[in-house]
Structure 1
Amino acid sequence: MVRPYTIVILAMTADGKISDVKRSGVTFGSSVDYTHLEQQVAEADGVLMGGGTLRSGETAMRVQTPALLTARQEAGKPPQPIQIVCSASGKIDPELRFFQQPIPRWLLTTPQGAEFWQTHSGFDQVLTGGTSRDGVDFPAAFERLRTLGVERLAVLGGGTLIASLFELGLVDELWLTVCGYIFGGSQAPTPVDGLGFARDRAPRLRLLEVNRVEDEVFLHYQVQRDSP
């Protein structure tokens, strides 16, 4: 399978939450974490996020630092990576600030989810696959993204989307910033939600590097692949 090299980038609290119990979308990482996230986004051809993540935050993470914009230009890349929203239902409010940002926008959805966008503008491309019952066909979608020039894909949430990608073996690296907060709450989202994995099926990670900056710890992992 030819697909994008896929990197998940997330900040989480010390108790493993990526948002509070209200899923308010309020950021809690430091300026250092923001710089780190922007760097990862700047290196990507596409940025993938779930519909819930977009609804809570209302905007995309785009490249704004002049040095990073220059680096993209020198590498022959457009100023901004493609912002790809994954939503099986396709129910994205066209009034969100996201649609006013100067970025390329794609939607990854099902044929049913694409119906609204056949008569409404907002996305430059609408890619369909799967069904409303089963959700997006990620393996087919990722192959399609690769044929469209997305070689490096940054995934910024949420936990349900990331769980699906881990389940299908579509994640190559993971960056986790551990921040000095405790959110608690059994209903607060985690980096990987979904149904979870039994011990013998759990994805294994190899720790590549650890960096501490004040009260935050930056963890970089590579997903281990089974030996042939």
Structure 2
Amino acid sequence: MMQHRPHTTVVMAMSADGKIADVRRSPARFGSLADKAHLEKQVAASDAILFGAGTLRAYGTTLTVSHPQLLQQRTHLGKSAQPVHIVVTHSGKLNPEIHFFKQPVQRWLLTTTAGALFWQGRTEFEQILILETPTEEIDISTALQHLTNLGITRIAVLGGGSLTASMLELNLIDELWLTVCPLILGGASAPTPVDGIGFLPQLAPKLQLLEVQTFEQEVFLHYRLQPLVD
């Protein structure tokens, strides 16, 4: 049965061997300008952007909508210039001096009771959402349902691999946009679009290929998650 939650789309660029960063987990800036424009388009179409603390630590910033046509489209739809940017972190350990906290976006924090302690009473986050499971982990499923109640209908998930894995395990992903970039990163410990403990073949999420686009040396793959069959 379909859950009462926002529509979720994972958007990531990866190397030809399926890595989203190198073994040092450096910021992945190997995508072309076309890939960045594609990412901005997905961001502009969303009500909220969801990403893990590891992704934020790597980049120190988030991608904002800057293209005039995309800004105009959001205005015509009665939306704010920028979607809400939601950081997911169990520990809450983020550097308040990074550039992200100076960018002109609404910032929300999805965390645990312990992770929220440092940020209580501060102004960096407009909202702090504390939704925990009995084991004191972030209850991402309940969090998404709560976001629907706050008017969030479309979410772009920008990584990292651990967050995407946890959402896939709970059947909380609807679509994926994967950009395949022309380089090989290698490395057994380099992160992939989906990390976590992995899936056995018979339990692996199944995809339906919706479209394939190519631009110069990059390939843009658009998938839809197939419904789970009991």
Report deviation, 1:131.
5.7
Contact 2:20 2:28 in 1 (8 A): no
Question: What does 1:194-209 correspond to in 2, within 5 Å?
Answer: 194-209=196-211
Tell me the residue number matched to 1:52.
54
Structure 2 gaps, min length 5:
none
In 1, distance between residues paired with 2:185 and 2:137?
30
For the residue of structure 2 that corresponds to 1:188, the secondary structure is coil
Indicate the residue corresponding to 1:42 in structure 2: 44
Deviation >6 Å, runs of 4+? none
1:151 alignment counterpart: 153
Q: Does 1:175 align with 2:177?
A: yes
Q: Name the CA shift for 1:34/1:132 in 2 (closer, same or farther; >3 Å).
A: farther
Deviates more, 1:32-41 or 1:118-127: 118-127
Give the Cα–Cα distance (whole angstroms) in 2 for the partners of residues 58 and 95 of structure 1.
9
- Give the match for residue 23 of structure 2: 21
State the TM-score, normalizing by the size of structure 2. Answer: 0.97
Pairwise CA distance, 1:225: 0.1
**1:110, 1:132 within 8 Å by CA — same for their partners in 2?**
no
**Secondary structure at the counterpart of residue 177 of structure 2:** strand
How far apart, in 2, do the equivalents of 1:51 and 1:223 lie? 25
Tell me the CA shift for residue 72 of structure 1. 0.2
Q: Which deviations, in whole Å up to 9, do the C-alpha atoms of 1:103-149 show, x marking residues without a partner?
A: 00000001111111113320000001116965210111001111111
| Same amino acid, percent of matched pairs | 53
Q: How does 1:99-138 map to 2 (within 5 A)?
A: 99-130=101-132, 134-138=136-140
Deviations, residues 182-227 of structure 1 (Å, cap 9, x unaligned)? 0100110000000000111100000000011111000000000035
For 1:115, what is the secondary structure of its paired residue? helix
Asked if the contact 1:112–1:132 (Cα under 8 Å) also holds between the matched residues in 2, the reply is no
| Equivalent residue, structure 2, for 1:62 | 64
Matches within 5 A, 1:213-224: 213-224=215-226
Output the TM-score relative to the length of structure 1. Answer: 0.97
Q: Is the 8 A contact 1:88 1:132 kept in 2?
A: no
**SS of equivalent residue, structure 1 residue 29:** coil
* Counterpart among 137, 162, 165 of residue 163 in structure 1: 165
Tell me, what secondary structure is at the counterpart of 2:123? coil
The partner residue of 1:93 within 92, 95, 105 is: 95
Gaps of 5+ in 1: none
DSSP 3-state at the match of 1:7: strand
User: Aligned to 1:142, which of 138, 141, 144?
Assistant: 144
